[in-house]
């Protein structure tokens, strides 16, 4: 699978890599929340997919629809609907998979990654201005 996400400039990837621990914690916490409270009660597959795609961008990876289904713990039908929704809003980029013409590869777009970074940085600034302990920095999103 190609190792360069669609159209992401190096400085933007470097910027999101600074927040990898926070992204990973948010992704894992969502899974735990889903396990404890039930899938339907607090489901948000679009956010789960954006978190997974942002983490993939840290490694310069694209994801298949199947991988995003698994990351969002959702059905293929829901995943495809959410991917269309995210793509229509320019948060996700997609392209044909050069190794398997039956599938597509997905990556968070430059717009999506810029917004994700802004969300994390604004959350960090709020905690910082509230003089919260440094260990809270992993609980930002």
User: Domain residues of the chain, as ranges?
Assistant: 10-139
Structure tokens at 35: 């396990």
pLDDT confidence bin for 2, thresholds 50/70/90:
very low
Q: Is the pLDDT of residue 46 over 80?
A: yes
Which of 60, 54, 69 minimizes the C-alpha distance to 104? Answer: 69
DSSP state of 96: E
The predicted-structure confidence for 86-139, as pLDDT tens digits, reads as follows 999 999 999 999 999 889 999 999 999 999 999 988 888 887 776 666 555 555
Q: What's the pTM value of the predicted model, to 2 decimals? A: 0.82
Q: Tell me the C-alpha to C-alpha distance, in Å, between residue 102 and each of 20, 27, 77, 82, 95.
A: 31, 28, 16, 19, 11
> For the structural domain made of 10-139, what CATH number should be given?
1.10.10.10
């Amino acid at each position: 699978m190609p190792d360069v996400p669609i159209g992401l400039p190096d400085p933007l990837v470097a910027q999101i890599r600074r927040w990898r621990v926070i992204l990973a914690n948010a992704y894992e916490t969502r899974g735990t929340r889903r396990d404890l409270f039930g899938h339907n009660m607090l489901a948000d597959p679009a956010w789960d997919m954006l978190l997974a795609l942002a983490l993939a961008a840290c490694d310069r990876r694209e994801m298949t629809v199947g991988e995003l289904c698994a990351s969002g713990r959702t059905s293929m039908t829901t995943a495809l609907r959410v991917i269309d929704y995210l793509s229509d809003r320019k948060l996700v980029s997609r392209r044909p998979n050069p190794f398997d013409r039956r599938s597509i590869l997905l990556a968070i777009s430059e717009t999506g990654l810029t917004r994700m970074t802004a969300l994390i940085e604004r959350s960090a600034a709020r905690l910082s201005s509230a003089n919260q302990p440094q260990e809270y920095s992993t609980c930002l999103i």
